Structure 1
Amino acid sequence: MKKYAYIGCLGFIAVITTEFGIIGILPQVAEYYKISIDKAGYLLSAFALVIAVTGPFMTLITSGIDRKKVMLAAIFMFLITGIVSSLSPPFWMMMVVRVLPAFLQPVYIATALSVAVAKADKKRKNELMSIVFNGVAIAMVTTVPLATWISGLYSWEYSFMIQAAVSLIALLCIYFLLPSMPVAEKKSYGSQMMILKQPSFVLSILTIFFMITAWFSTYSYFADYLNKAKGMNTAMVSYMLLLFGVIGILANWIAGKMLNKNITGTISFFLSGTILIPVLLYFSDGNLPATIVVIGIWGFLYSPSFLNASTYMISAAPNSLEFANSLATSFGNLGVTLGTTVGGWIIISNGVQYTPWIGLVFGILAFLTIILRSCLETRNKTVLCS
């Protein structure tokens, strides 16, 4: 049902606002706590690392619990994070409350997707999944740039107030609009983990890991990059995040349609941005109109990355949707961690202007694993037909 997909989308907006809302205010947080930008980046990379390490296990553990209760518990944790962070606690405490909801983030995403497609026919599943994943793009066009803009007007703490408000709205909507959804039949842990023995699934994991690493080596430091490499102030960065999000909504809708026709072709098309964007950013140099156009292209090619990742992973294990998606979320966030870490190291050692080139390297690695999976599947079909 579309209603369930839109509820899942709303919760996703809260999730993304909390996880990535920090990107636009990293320079201010670093200045407030008197730390370097790469250390401030731990607020993003630590969050992502917890998801990467615990995601699949948390999804397996909660797979027999009423789906409504799971979604409520997850969003409640995001609400707590926003409230505590807005009080500008000591840095160690902010790290702790940032990490807590990360344990349930992949559980929320996997559950929201399964709820959205539970009663849908096969032809509509990717379209309904794209509605849920539009929460990423909508957050990028509304709450994330708004939080950055407000923090520029007042202080960074207001950004977390907005995050808390969005989480509260999502919590109330799930509580009042989503019916109780007990799990009718719980799959055994062993049957779900069997997919890890499939070579095509392992290659899909590597593709997602390399793809997300490629994007986040620069995107994690979006504000810092535009500020230092392109000379934009905080207000201008918020406008760029807005542009990023507006185009991202369109990109997710288009990607949802494209995925219904050709999954491998779609992920390859959008992945091309990891190679194209570094080149375009380099040649746009200090030209503001050219840079704005490149950011628009960047937003279009980046925004469906999580939708593409989940769909590509699930296509390798269609009978284990929730577990496969939790692995997509986990390895995607492992990519966020590596991209943020390597990006921070490059900023400290060479300068922020070099971060896009990291994306090009990991983008090429992602293309190689896509080719390997395609060759493997073609060979298996040939064997079956002979």
Structure 2
Amino acid sequence: MKKIAYIGCLGMLGVITTEFGVIGILPQVAQYYAISIDKAGLLLSAFAMVIALAGPFMTLFMSGFNRKKIMALSLGLFLISGIISLLSPPFWLLLVARMLPAFLQPVYISTAIAAATGAADKKDEHKMMAIVLGGIGIATVTTVPFATYIADLFGNWQASFVVQSIVSLSALTCILTMLPSMPVAERKPLGNQLLILQKPAFIISAVMVFLMNAAMFTTYSYFADYLGKVNGMSAGTISGMLLLFGVMGVLGNFTAGKTMGKSLTGTTVVFLGGLTLTAIGIYYSGPLSFSTVLLIALWGFLHTPCFLTGQAYMIAFAREAPEFANSLSISFGNLGISSGTLAGGWVISRYGVSSTPWAMCVFGVAALVLILLQTFYEKSRKPVACPD
């Protein structure tokens, strides 16, 4: 049922706008609170860390609840977080307000995917999943750069949280008024779901997703700071680059969605490998020029599909417990986001923001090595186990 998938996608807009909307305003937040840029980065890394640590437990605990109620509760927390944030509270309270909805972020994503795929035919499950996760790409095209633009237009970072709150409220309204009640017909035994943790292939895939997301966010978390200090861009130009980044990310998602069915591992390697090589170009990029714009476009095209390919890669090794695997994928991905953001902050504090692409490159190479090792291992042991 496509309606469920599209509403789930709208909710993803609220979720992703809240999580990544701060990327474009970190320099302003750091200036407002008179803190360093790496400390301001805690607004992203702490959010991701909560998801990583609490996500699997919250998903298991709430797996038997009515899916409509879970989705509504999750978006309600995101709305409350946005309202508190736009009031510019003390930094510690801003941090707490950011962390609260993170407890239910993986629950929302897993539930939305389960609701969309559960109402679809077997052959359409991947399409429904792609629609829900398409909210990530759409957010990077629309609401994330728009939030940055509004903050620049009104001259204060709080305006960004107004955009986030409006998006969350819209999604919550649609969930409450348009979704049918969706009680879970049969709750899978906890023990059966935990069995996937005994599979070496699944554990290796989880570590790969962690490393891949760390690579993605060592530099992207400080996107505005990097483009401002290294490429000499104004806040208005940066919001335009965020828009370009997002548009190319949607195109990348579309391309990845077409090729995943042919070779999931191959698609993952191509996009992650391309992103890793792009890190070198980012390091050597200079003042704003046509080549810089092309590089940012390529960066966006390769970056965004890694969310989709990473999640699908992990689930491919745990088909017997897809919801729990979904939550673990989100958790390991966000652990990577948190670690990548912290690693980028550490590099900035010691070597400057211009050196963050090298950390991006190191994490990317490590993730690629794991994929290749796992592929060789699976093919030598049992070829049919490989997610291709």
TM-score range, shorter chain: over 0.9
* Cα distance in 2 for residues equivalent to 1:310 and 1:12: 15
Are the aligned partners of 1:126 and 1:259 in contact in 2 as well (CA < 8 Å)?
A: no
Are the aligned partners of 1:70 and 1:108 in contact in 2 as well (CA < 8 Å)?
A: yes
Deviation at 1:124, TM superposition (A): 2.5
Deviation at 1:130, TM superposition (A): 1.4
Gaps of 5+ in 1: none
Match of 1:290 in 2: 291
TM-score normalised to structure 2 length: 0.97
* Cα distance in 2 for residues equivalent to 1:24 and 1:166: 17
Deviation at 1:122, TM superposition (A): 3.7
* Cα distance in 1 for residues equivalent to 2:177 and 2:252: 31
Are the aligned partners of 1:126 and 1:311 in contact in 2 as well (CA < 8 Å)?
A: no
* Cα distance in 2 for residues equivalent to 1:5 and 1:305: 20
TM-score normalised to structure 1 length: 0.97
Deviation at 1:127, TM superposition (A): 2.1
Deviation at 1:381, TM superposition (A): 1.6
* Cα distance in 1 for residues equivalent to 2:178 and 2:259: 30
* Cα distance in 1 for residues equivalent to 2:179 and 2:381: 42
Deviation at 1:132, TM superposition (A): 1.0
Are the aligned partners of 1:50 and 1:103 in contact in 2 as well (CA < 8 Å)?
A: yes
Match of 2:36 in 1: 36
* Cα distance in 2 for residues equivalent to 1:9 and 1:25: 24
Residue aligned with 2:261, SS: helix
Match of 2:124 in 1: 124
Residue aligned with 2:331, SS: helix
Match of 2:106 in 1: 106
* Cα distance in 1 for residues equivalent to 2:10 and 2:65: 21
Are the aligned partners of 1:68 and 1:178 in contact in 2 as well (CA < 8 Å)?
A: yes
Amino acid corresponding to residue 54 of structure 1 in structure 2: A
Match of 1:55 in 2: 55
Amino acid corresponding to residue 82 of structure 1 in structure 2: G
Q: Which segment is superposed worse, 373-382 or 228-237?
A: 373-382
Match of 1:68 in 2: 68
Amino acid corresponding to residue 217 of structure 1 in structure 2: T
Match of 2:331 in 1: 330
> Judging changes above 3 Å, is the alpha-carbon distance between structure 1 residues 287 and 319 closer, same or farther for their aligned structure 2 residues?
same
Match of 1:227 in 2: 228
Amino acid corresponding to residue 61 of structure 2 in structure 1: I
Amino acid corresponding to residue 35 of structure 2 in structure 1: I
Amino acid corresponding to residue 364 of structure 2 in structure 1: G
Amino acid corresponding to residue 256 of structure 2 in structure 1: A
1:51-110 CA-to-partner distances (Å, cap 9, x unmatched) read: 000100000000000000000000000000110100001111111110000000000000
Match of 1:215 in 2: 216
Match of 1:237 in 2: 238
Match of 1:133 in 2: 133
* Cα distance in 2 for residues equivalent to 1:383 and 1:171: 42
* Cα distance in 2 for residues equivalent to 1:125 and 1:224: 39
> Judging changes above 3 Å, is the alpha-carbon distance between structure 1 residues 255 and 122 closer, same or farther for their aligned structure 2 residues?
farther
Match of 1:185 in 2: 186
* Cα distance in 2 for residues equivalent to 1:124 and 1:142: 27
Residue aligned with 1:341, SS: helix
**1:287-326 paired onto structure 2 within 5 Å:** 287-326=288-327
* Cα distance in 1 for residues equivalent to 2:35 and 2:218: 20
Deviation at 1:254, TM superposition (A): 1.7
1:95-137 CA-to-partner distances (Å, cap 9, x unmatched) read: 1110000000000000111111113344322222111111111
* Cα distance in 1 for residues equivalent to 2:38 and 2:73: 31
* Cα distance in 2 for residues equivalent to 1:42 and 1:383: 42
* Cα distance in 2 for residues equivalent to 1:126 and 1:351: 42
* Cα distance in 2 for residues equivalent to 1:85 and 1:383: 49
Amino acid corresponding to residue 265 of structure 2 in structure 1: T
Deviation at 1:287, TM superposition (A): 5.0
> What is the aligned residue count?
384
* Cα distance in 1 for residues equivalent to 2:223 and 2:238: 8
* Cα distance in 2 for residues equivalent to 1:80 and 1:105: 14
Match of 2:257 in 1: 256
Deviation at 1:341, TM superposition (A): 0.4
Q: Which segment is superposed worse, 150-159 or 277-286?
A: 277-286
Q: Which segment is superposed worse, 134-143 or 124-133?
A: 124-133
Runs (4+) of structure 1 moved beyond 3 Å? none
Amino acid corresponding to residue 336 of structure 1 in structure 2: I
Match of 1:363 in 2: 364
* Cα distance in 2 for residues equivalent to 1:5 and 1:382: 33
The root-mean-square deviation of aligned C-alpha atoms, in Å, is: 1.3
Amino acid corresponding to residue 93 of structure 1 in structure 2: L
* Cα distance in 2 for residues equivalent to 1:251 and 1:130: 12
Are the aligned partners of 2:283 and 2:355 in contact in 1 as well (CA < 8 Å)?
A: no
Are the aligned partners of 1:59 and 1:107 in contact in 2 as well (CA < 8 Å)?
A: yes
* Cα distance in 2 for residues equivalent to 1:119 and 1:174: 16
Are the aligned partners of 2:13 and 2:135 in contact in 1 as well (CA < 8 Å)?
A: yes
Q: Which segment is superposed worse, 281-290 or 259-268?
A: 281-290
Percent of aligned pairs sharing the same letter:
55
Q: Which segment is superposed worse, 20-29 or 117-126?
A: 117-126
Deviation at 1:383, TM superposition (A): 11
Residue aligned with 1:338, SS: helix
